Amino acid sequence: MEKKWIIIDAALMAALFVLLQIAGIDIRRWVIIVVEWSTKFILPWIILYWLIRWVKSVEK
């Protein structure tokens, strides 16, 4: 059952990619922007969260 959903999701993403290319939108540029933004703003907070959890567990 799970493989079915993975295949459907992959097909939908491929179709979206093709449609955006036809519309003239460069999806690769947007992927690079999103990855860059997430590494600047989201990833440090995730690391901080897990660092705080680790420090609390070490203190106990």
- How distant, in Å, are the alpha carbons of 34, 36, 41, 54 from that of 44? 15, 12, 6, 15
| Full residue range of the structural domain in which residue 7 is found | 2-59
Given a cut of 80, is residue 1 above it in pLDDT?
no
Count of residues for the chain? 60
Query: What's the one-letter identity of residue 30?
Result: W
Digit-coded pLDDT (tens) for 2-37: 888 999 999 999 999 899 999 998 888 988 999 999
Q: What is the pLDDT of residue 28?
A: 86
- How distant, in Å, are the alpha carbons of 6, 27, 30, 41 from that of 34? 23, 11, 6, 11
Record the pTM: 0.55
Per the structure, how many domains does the chain have? 1
Query: What's the one-letter identity of residue 39?
Result: T
